[in-house]
Structure 1
Amino acid sequence: CERNHLLLNTSKTQEMVNDFQRNTPSHSLVNIQRADIEVMDTFKYLGVHLNSKLNWSNKTDARYKKAKATS
């Protein structure tokens, strides 16, 4: 980032690990500009709910709750 004169807002940066191995070792924390990046299991990106298993359970749950609230 510094070499290309880019600024990264580490307070808004999140990490999600997608690892499909059965015996997953613990992953080391990512550190950018001396700030630890928060590890997330789920998050919303461009309106799509993503999770670390890459299935649609969070998206369908959100749609169900929204439909239930409007009925």
Structure 2
Amino acid sequence: MVGLISGGDESAHRAQVEHLTAWCRDNNLLLNTSKTKELIVDFRRKKMDIQPLHIRGECVKRVSVFRFLGVHITDNLTWCTNTAELVKKAQQRLYFLRILNRHNIPQKLPVSFYHCSIESSLTYCLCVWFASCTVAQKNVLQGWPKRSSAAL
């Protein structure tokens, strides 16, 4: 759920949370507050203290990084964490690609492995986060085809 707090007035956001809680209760859904996280994105120069969110008397944990559908979102909307995790995952999979090549497997299989395992993870949700990456992050990500072709 996304809520907007404008002018320091949190009442609309808190009303949305109460509405969601009531909807879940009315539709026999259990809202697991231990798995619920709160991520606050605030670009104001003078940050105000926002009160913790409570659902059914339980305090919701506030986080600075949240993984949503495989994309790491930070409270300042930079993509450093997301890029680092993608590179880490690609490096792990590149190791398996090298092992495939050591066993003299026909070239078609390692190429398929690269497209299915490495390239697909590096390009997942690319249209959401790539434009906001720094030049250094873009260079790291765009260097992967060269590293992978060396392994192929």
* TM bin (shorter chain): 0.7 to 0.9
Name the structure 1 match of 2:22: 2
Name the structure 2 match of 1:26: 49
- Of 29, 37, 43, which residue of structure 2 is paired with 1:14? 37
Where structure 2 has 5 or more consecutive residues not aligned to the other structure, the ranges are 1-20, 96-152
Q: For residues 10-38 of structure 1, give each alpha carbon's deviation from its aligned partner in whole angstroms, at most 9, with x where no partner exists.
A: 11110000100112122110011000000
How many corresponding residue pairs?
A: 71
Q: For residues 19-61 of structure 1, give each alpha carbon's deviation from its aligned partner in whole angstroms, at most 9, with x where no partner exists.
A: 0011212211001100000000001110111000112111111
What is the CA-CA distance between 1:68 and the residue it aligns to? 2.8
Q: CA RMSD in A?
A: 1.7
Provide TM-score, normalisation by structure 2: 0.43
What amino acid is the match of 1:60?
T
Does residue 63 (structure 1) correspond to residue 86 (structure 2)? The answer is yes
Distance, in Å, in 1 between the alignment partners of 2:58 and 2:74 is: 23
What is the CA-CA distance between 1:9 and the residue it aligns to? 1.1
Larger radius of gyration: 2
Query: If each structure's helix is expressed as a fraction of its own residues, which one has the higher value?
Result: 2
What amino acid is the match of 1:16?
L
Where structure 1 has 5 or more consecutive residues not aligned to the other structure, the ranges are none
**Structure 1 segments of 4 or more deviating over 4 A?**
none
Distance, in Å, in 2 between the alignment partners of 1:66 and 1:7 is: 33
